Chain A
Amino acid sequence: MKKFLTTAFLFTLAVAAFAQGAPVVQKSLFEGQFLAHIALAIAAAGCGMAQGKAVAAACEGIARNPQAAGNIRTTMIIGLALIEALVIYVLVAAFAVH
């Protein structure tokens, strides 16, 4: 892991140095849109895991007590929307970069 991080860091430095050295119009790989897409992918992965846990717990609750299905569903939808909002913030940031 450490080796990987070091490599990534050196690669970033190399790209930045390359971008500084030559008067290029193109931005470096680690700026702007590319970074926004990576950030969105990370956010979506975290959101997927969190929503999976939430829905699993809600299903379990409904299976144990089907009469509480209505309340559990409402609460679950609110919770899912709040979790999803975090990804949406990253999406808005990605829009802002474009």
Chain B
Amino acid sequence: MEHHASGLAVLLTWMFGLARHPWGTFAHGVPLSILERYDHLLISSLAALVTVGLALAVRFRLARIPGPFQQTMEYLLSFVRTLVSDNVAHDPDRYMPLIGTLGFFVLLNNLFGLVPGLGSGTANWNVTLGCALVVFLYYNFHGMRVHGIGSYLGHFAGPVWFLWILMWPLEVLGLFSRILSHSLRLFGNIAGEHVVSAIFFTLVPLVVPVPLMIMGLFFGLIQTFVFIMLATIYVSGAVAHEH
């Protein structure tokens, strides 16, 4: 695949005077500095910093009569809270911090792709795979915490006991393939959107890419919603009690 370093990485390379050298066959052997090569890490660190910054800014300026900024953040957080409490029956507030943080991180990463000079961190599979792995470990941990390790692993055997030899391997395979589907969905959507925008931009550089970029804004929001929604559904499936 082609590799386009973001303007921020190029600017930082120029400011710090970093050395450029080829990285094997990556990007057809074009010389890149370390920031340009690991551009997705730069952008996603920036997204993480902005997420922490927003949270701290609203935390240290909590007012009884909220201003516009606090109201926006309250709206977003109450949105996430409704999402989690609609799906998880027992103790939803315990799972809200991770899901909300993940939502902010993914949303900022998606939307950075529309800012000139930045790129999307989530347009690289490594970033989305990291998020999906965190979610995977998180819901398995909570499933084992709630049900105990034995009965959590046992519930993959299904309701009919003599079918365990068929059900258990399939269910466990499905569990692991969730990591792939969860991460590839986000990555493919964002990367595909960028490729389409880039192709239209090379064909007609004026006006025509604008509707596509608006679509990109919309898709970034929808994919963030789908990502945290699926994380919530996985968590609720892992901690649900069967009545």
Residues of A within 8 A of B (CB): 77-78, 81, 84-85, 88-89, 91-92, 95, 98
Partner of A81, one of B187, B192, B226: B226
Contact A88:B225 (CB < 8 A) given known A95-B1, A95-B191, A98-B1: no
Beta-carbon contact of B184 and A84 below 8 Å: no
Interface size on B, residues (CB 8 A): 15
Q: Per DSSP, are chain B's interface residues mostly helix, strand or loop, or mixed? A: helix
- Shortest Cβ-Cβ A-B pairs, 4 listed: A88-B188, A81-B226, A85-B185, A92-B188
- The 10 listed contacts between A and B (C-beta, < 8 Å) are A78-B229, A81-B185, A81-B226, A84-B189, A85-B184, A89-B184, A89-B188, A92-B184, A92-B188, A95-B191
Q: Say whether B222 faces chain A, with CB atoms less than 8 Å apart.
A: yes
Q: How far is the CA of A44 from the CA of B187 in the complex (A)?
A: 18
A52 to B209, CA, bound (A): 25
Interface flag for B223 (CB, 8 Å): yes
Number of interchain pairs (Cβ within 8 Å): 32
Provide the residues of chain B in CB contact with A84, threshold 8 Å. Answer: 185, 189
Per-residue CB contact flags for chain B residues 186-219 toward chain A (1 = under 8 Å, else 0) read: 0111011000000000000000000000000000
Task: Enumerate chain B residues within 8 angstroms of A95, measured Cβ to Cβ.
Answer: 1, 191
The reply to whether A88 and B189 contact each other, CB–CB distance below 8 Å, is: yes
Question: A85 to chain B: which residues have CB within 8 Å?
Answer: 181, 184-185, 188
For the complex, give the distance between the alpha carbons of A89 and B189 in Å. Answer: 10
Please, which residues of chain B bring their CB within 8 A of the CB of A92?
125, 184, 187-188
List of A residues within 8 angstroms of B229 by Cβ: 78
Given contacts A95-B191, A98-B1, contact A88 B226 (CB under 8 A): no
B187 CB → nearest A CB, Å: 7
Assembly CA distance A88 to B187 (angstroms): 9
Q: How far is the CB of B152 from chain A (nearest CB, A)?
A: 25
Could you tell me the distance between the alpha carbons of A78 and B1 in the complex, rounded to whole angstroms? 30
State how many angstroms separate the Cβ of A44 from the closest Cβ of chain B. 11
Contact among A78, A91, A98 for B192, CB-based, below 8 A: A91
Query: Is the Cβ of A77 less than 8 Å from the Cβ of B222?
Result: yes
Alpha-carbon gap, A84 to B125, bound state (A): 17
Contact B222 A88 (CB under 8 A): no
Q: Mark B159-195, 1 if CB is under 8 A from A, else 0.
A: 0000000000000000000000100110111011000
- In the complex, what residue of chain A is closest to B182 when comparing beta carbons? A85
Docked-complex contact B181 and A81, CB < 8 angstroms: no
Rounded to whole angstroms, the CA-CA distance of A40 and B166 in the bound complex is: 33
